[in-house]
Amino acid sequence: MRPEEIHAALELINGEDDLNTKALLLAGMVSELFREKGFEPIVVGGSAIEFYTDGAYMSGDTDICWTGVHQPTRNDCTDIMKQLPGIKNQGGKSWQVADLWIDLLGEVDYLAEKDFTKLKTPTGFVVLIPVEDLLVGRIYAARKWTDLMRKTTSVRKS
């Protein structure tokens, strides 16, 4: 994206009142910036659920992982994200822009033999992890949490 395209995209994002739409527009722009450098961004976690449910669930940030053999380094991420005026790095993987948070994570981990979902936005394409993987991930996390709580409770009773 040329600087004027980035500026226009940020104006669109900053002018949006709906938080889900705003986050989706930002994810589209960031995804396009990474695609230009040969990386394949995939939105995962709560933010993917947020986009699938049209904001019925709000995660508070956008989590991006990568698919393919070409994975960005921290330096790659910094170079790409620094193209955005006013962006703030908040500790390596976390970035704040347009009052929203983006977390740039590692390689995507998914099991479903389903295709990724691709959404077209005015700022670029957003690719989402299959919904089946999101559900399995949430169930697994809940189970781990329940197991941890059981262990904690039995230690306290001892």
pLDDT band at 158 (very low <50, low <70, confident <90, very high): low
Q: Which domain holds residue 19?
A: 3-130
Residue 81 contacts residue 60 (beta carbons within 8 Å): no
148, part of any domain: no
Mean pLDDT of the chain: 88
157, part of any domain: no
Average pLDDT, integer, range 90-113: 87
pTM as predicted: 0.84
Residue 105 CB burial class (10 angstroms; 0-12, 13-18, ≥19): middle
143, part of any domain: no
142, part of any domain: no
Q: What is the length of the chain?
A: 158
Number of domain units in the chain: 1
154, part of any domain: no
Question: What's the CATH code of the domain at 98?
Answer: 3.30.460
Among the ranges given (83-87, 95-99, 109-113, 147-151), the one the predictor scored with the smallest mean pLDDT: 147-151
CA angle 8, 14, 15 (to 5 degrees): 90
Rounded to whole angstroms, what are the CA distances from 154 to 63, 140, 142, 144, 158?
A: 34, 21, 18, 15, 6
